Structure 1
């Protein structure tokens, strides 16, 4: 990942509704959710939700797939992984013991 891609991803997440959408989709991996269901769960008008989903998709952290008449959205975990690694790649100037608390927080779930 490069700076521009990281900025696009972080910018997409730097808005409350989009952050809520992304977190909701992460919780619903690997099945994902239909756009209408996302809008319903977050109480956001469908046309507004469509715009938010488009921004997240263009940033590379959400992907979509058509199933019949529905579009199913999923968190792009590869995009999340790339962004996370970009942010912590040079963690603590090569002193891994300083990053241990961060890794310990992730260990129980991941």
Structure 2
């Protein structure tokens, strides 16, 4: 991943409404939500929400799919993983134990991974 892509993603998330949108979409994985439902849930005008969703989409953090008359938005967790990996790739300097607290903090949301990861 290139630095510019990471900067774009972090900039997209560095605004409270967009951060709320992304977190909402993460909670609704894998189904996603229609744009109108996102706007209603977060009490944001539809045209403003459209702008926020566009910024998140350009950053690669959300994907959209037309279903009939609705556009369904989903969080792109693969893109988020790439951003986080870019940030932390060299975090432990060859000492995996330094990253253990971070891995442990993520484990409760992903218990299937907990049994397969090396300590």
TM over 0.5: yes
Q: Secondary structure at the match of 2:93?
A: helix
Counterpart of 1:86 in structure 2 is: 86
Provide the C-alpha distance between the structure 2 equivalents of 1:80 and 1:20, rounded to a whole number of angstroms: 15
Query: Normalising by the residue count of structure 2, what TM-score does the alignment of the two structures yield?
Result: 0.91
Query: Normalising by the residue count of structure 1, what TM-score does the alignment of the two structures yield?
Result: 0.98
For 1:15-47, what per-residue CA distance to the aligned partner results, in whole angstroms no more than 9, with x for missing partners?
000000000000000000000000000000000
Counterpart of 1:107 in structure 2 is: 107
Q: Which runs of 4+ in 1 moved over 6 A?
A: none
Counterpart of 1:30 in structure 2 is: 30
Q: Secondary structure at the match of 1:44?
A: coil
How much has 1:97 moved relative to structure 2?
A: 0.5
Tell me: higher relative CO, structure 1 or 2? Use CA pairs within 8 A at least 6 residues apart.
1
For 1:24-79, what per-residue CA distance to the aligned partner results, in whole angstroms no more than 9, with x for missing partners?
00000000000000000000000000000000000001000000000000001111
Provide the C-alpha distance between the structure 2 equivalents of 1:5 and 1:78, rounded to a whole number of angstroms: 13
How much has 1:92 moved relative to structure 2?
A: 2.2
Measured on the aligned residues, the alpha-carbon RMSD in Å equals 0.6
Q: Secondary structure at the match of 2:21?
A: helix
Structure 1 unaligned residues grouped into runs of 5+: none
User: 1:15 and 2:15 equivalent?
Assistant: yes
Provide the C-alpha distance between the structure 2 equivalents of 1:105 and 1:78, rounded to a whole number of angstroms: 19
Greater radius of gyration (CA): 2
Greater shift in the superposed pair: 54-63 or 94-103: 94-103
